């Protein structure tokens, strides 16, 4: 049975690996890898980058193929980008307009990613084949960590 992720250990690894880095893609790649391999419920972990007005495109990720393009108007990732709010969806089938990039996904946690100047860089998307896989503790851990890591991102 999977257990809770070791959030302090993941945080320290991410801090050590990203210290002094400002390149957005490098930061995204490192975070996606670390979270994916350390969080017991992540089946797909990655970023969708803001690449145009109201448009997300796939960025660094771990897991199977993801959707290549997601408009802000669609899906859980689009909702997080559009509203600037964390989307913790325990049952993706119950989310209106959910985009099934993978038919095995049961729950999803999507967090907006901002740099220190307040520019939306994209969203971090965690998908799980387990229902209700992500908790408020995951949100409370990742929101400040994303702000810290991407503060000086270019």
At 118-143, the pLDDT tens digits run 999 999 999 999 999 999 999 999 99
Mean pLDDT on 70-74? 96
At 6-62, the pLDDT tens digits run 999 999 999 999 999 999 999 999 999 999 999 999 999 999 999 999 999 999 999
At 74-131, the pLDDT tens digits run 999 999 999 999 999 999 989 887 777 777 899 999 999 999 999 999 999 999 999 9
CATH topology of domain 37-149: Beta-Lactamase (3.30.450)
Q: What is the DSSP string of 81-147?
A: HHH-S-EEES-GGGSTT---SSTT--EEEEEEEE-TTS-EEEEEEEEESSTT---HHHHHHHHHHHH
Q: Where are the domains of the chain?
A: 37-149
């Amino acid at each position: 049975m999977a257990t809770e992720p070791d959030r302090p250990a993941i945080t320290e690894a991410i801090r050590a690996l990203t210290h002094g880095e400002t390149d957005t893609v490098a930061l995204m790649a490192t975070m996606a890898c670390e979270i994916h391999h350390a969080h017991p419920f992540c089946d797909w972990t990655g970023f969708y980058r803001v690449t145009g007005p109201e448009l997300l495109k796939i960025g660094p990720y771990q897991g199977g193929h993801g959707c290549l393009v997601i408009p802000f108007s669609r899906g859980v990732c689009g909702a997080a980008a559009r509203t600037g709010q964390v989307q913790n969806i325990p049952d993706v089938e119950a989310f209106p307009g959910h985009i099934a990039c993978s038919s095995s996904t049961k729950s999803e946690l999507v967090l907006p990613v901002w740099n220190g100047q307040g520019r939306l860089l994209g969203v971090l998307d965690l998908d799980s084949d387990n229902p209700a896989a992500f908790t408020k503790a995951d949100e409370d851990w990742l929101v400040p960590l994303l702000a810290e890591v991407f503060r000086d991102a270019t």
